Chains A and B, each alone.
Chain A
């Protein structure tokens, strides 16, 4: 099953490589990983998407917790949460396709943020599966380039990951 794991870790050189190294050393999957400093500059927040059985994901969280730089960790799948990912996608847009793609972007609540006579660059946010759905909806050969940030996640309501 797909799990979204949220971590707070010390904002120190090498912390990211410890996390990445753990996954490769123990043979766990990383589907996506996104990390940036928080409002407290000594801390980074990481969102990590992994796929594995419940037993494997339990081991993943325990092993992550053992890393000295990991301050706190939660598996967002343990409760209600929101997931968002940002994608920038450049699509070929000529002739009648221009209108069609613009409409499609609107349906997915995307914004066209760059326009040339041959292409649109569209900004989209949503769950990872929504972004997948957009890409499925556009004709494959029209997609020139995609950039995705990987998922970010946060608990709903009072569920807070904080030191």
Chain B
């Protein structure tokens, strides 16, 4: 007969069984028994953050850069509410994650107990699923289900809420190898007839484009996407979430599309005749106004694991529900066996047109400026790291410049909050990335506004010796807010000016890191080189950049993709 374990012991044992090596959290009353068990073992490493939001972002960065399920552990009440922003961030970007939260004892639930909040209720709209475990005998099974749900189908965060008394009660421990749920069976294989139909449509294309999103990254299908694209000699554009899914330095890459996408990508999207959407969801920041987008006569193939993503904003002609990896493999197989090829003459014409669009050089900026141009900093970063760094970002102008100017050739290198657009994401996410990739170069591209939303994590970085390279593009404005105010609100910069900024150099130093302030364009390269030489140190680089620089191209809200504002 096996011995009985407490709920807290079971929780930790389950994490061990799942192969979890690293979790992020913050202790509190309701999770004390769980922390006690963490203390007694050394298989699961716990990273103590300074705020629960950062725990979830770090688990998120860990998951995005490693393809493992990220795990966060927080206490009841404010522990959970602080975690909500992180959970919603992961949910919008479909990141596999399990969040374990403490809850007040079952006898106190509903009585407005100290640090009580309805965790399941408050997180319901921003999780893939959540559980309140009321009986210790269901705990192991529930955690198994949580990992299964989080990591299969369209991934997402799952919350497991464990009341304090459940973590104390004892039962026999049994961790199932597999879990089957009659109500949850995500489709993996695409429908063969639909795939065949898609292949026929692709062969008939005269002006094709492949539009690839975050689904390619999540399903680890970057090499298949690359193979298919090159096999067909089609142009490929990536969404913000899909960067790295196709090598950005390749000539067939049109770069990012969307609100701040390249001219060539947006024009090709608008005027193509066959659009192959792979793990992407036609969201508002990508296609702009769906009415303007639908004006054009084109056929759309849409590969996505989530049936509800299909025909949600744009009606599609050939939907294929399935795992992107599986469907791409099938398509490659079909084209390998196929003798017919797409119309090469038409394709050549199409490429000629694309080259004309490319000649607009839509990402140009003043390279002789006496003030540091933010684009230049990122270009230098790309060169110095040889395109091989992990890059996280916060949200705003710097995020768009990072996406435009750092050419990602590999998947899981670009880590940003695309869907929810969470300022404060960058540094904690970078902590998770560094822990998942101890030898990797990790850069966090941020701005003076975003970085202050989770600045306290400089302390966590010190504690765990995380040698992040923080690139603060400091323009003393909430740049993207300022840009919109300039364009659409008559230059009235309401509350977008960042007053009373700290001395970031001294701030970094006070946490025991290295700080640098860079004010002249000629110093940018040297500073970056020096920072990356300091392999074991976090370096906070405060770049004083041009206050008036804007992100171009730009598709104004409500406009069509081809109605870009250009430099």
A25 on interface, CB distance cutoff 8 Å:
yes
A14-B121 Cα distance, complex, nearest whole Å: 9
A-B pairs, top 10 by smallest CB distance, nearest first, are: A62-B308, A71-B183, A68-B129, A25-B125, A62-B307, A68-B184, A63-B308, A21-B124, A66-B308, A71-B182
Closest to B184 in A: A68
A64's nearest neighbour on chain B, judged by CB, is B308
Q: Would you give the shortest CB distance from B301 to chain A, in whole angstroms?
A: 19
Query: Chain A 51-77, CB within 8 Å of chain B: the 1/0 string?
Result: 000010011001101101111000000
Q: Provide a sorted-by-A list of 28 A–B residue pairs whose CB atoms are within 8 angstroms.
A: A9-B183, A10-B183, A13-B132, A14-B120, A14-B124, A17-B124, A18-B124, A21-B124, A25-B125, A55-B311, A55-B315, A58-B311, A59-B312, A62-B307, A65-B307, A65-B308, A66-B306, A66-B307, A66-B308, A68-B128, A68-B129, A68-B181, A68-B184, A69-B183, A70-B183, A71-B182, A71-B183, A163-B182
Residues B424-479 near A (CB distance < 8 A): none
Residues 67-122 of B at the A interface (beta carbon under 8 Å):
120-121
CA of A71 to CA of B124, assembled, Å = 18
Q: A21-B125, A68-B149 are in contact. Are A59 and B183 (CB under 8 A)?
A: no
* Nearest CB in chain B: distance from A82 CB, A: 26
Whole-angstrom distance from the CB of B419 to the nearest CB of chain A? 15
Measured between alpha carbons, how far is A21 from B184 in the docked complex, in Å? 19
Verify A68–B183 contact, CB threshold 8 A.
Answer: yes
A58 CA to B311 CA, complexed, in Å: 9
Chain B residue contacts of A71, Cβ below 8 A: 182-183
Chain A nearest CB from B99 CB (Å) reads: 16
Complex CA–CA separation, A95 to B308 (angstroms)? 58
B124-137 contact mask (Cβ, 8 Å, vs A): 1 or 0? 11001100100000
Distance A113 CA – B299 CA, assembled complex (angstroms): 61
Shortest B322–chain A CB gap in Å is 15
- Minimum Cβ distance to chain B for residue A118 (Å): 42
Identity of the chain B residue whose Cβ is nearest the Cβ of A72 in the assembled complex: B183
Q: Which of A23-42 contact B (CB under 8 A)?
A: 25
Whole-angstrom distance between the alpha carbons of A43 and B312 in the complex? 30
Residues of chain A within 8 A (CB-CB) of B308 are 59, 62-63, 65-66
Q: What's the nearest-Cβ distance from chain A to residue B209, in Å?
A: 25
How many angstroms from the CA of A13 to the CA of B110 in the assembled complex? 14
Q: Which residue of B lies closest to A10 (CB)?
A: B183
Q: 8 Å CB contacts to A: which residues of B168-184? A: 181-184
CA distance A9 to B181 in the complex (A): 12
A69–B184 Cα distance when bound, in Å, is: 8
- Which residues from chain A contact B124 at a C-beta distance below 8 Å? 14, 17-18, 21
Alpha-carbon separation in the docked complex, A69 to B125 (Å): 14
New contact pairs (7) apart from A13-B132, A68-B128, CB-CB < 8 Å: A14-B120, A14-B132, A55-B311, A55-B315, A59-B308, A65-B307, A163-B182
Pair B149/A17 contact, Cβ less than 8 Å: no
In the bound complex, residues from chain B placing their C-beta under 8 Å from that of A65 are 307-308
Q: B182 to chain A: which residues have CB within 8 Å?
A: 71, 163
- The smallest beta-carbon distance between A61 and chain B, in angstroms, is 9
B320-334 CB contacts (< 8 Å) to partner A: none
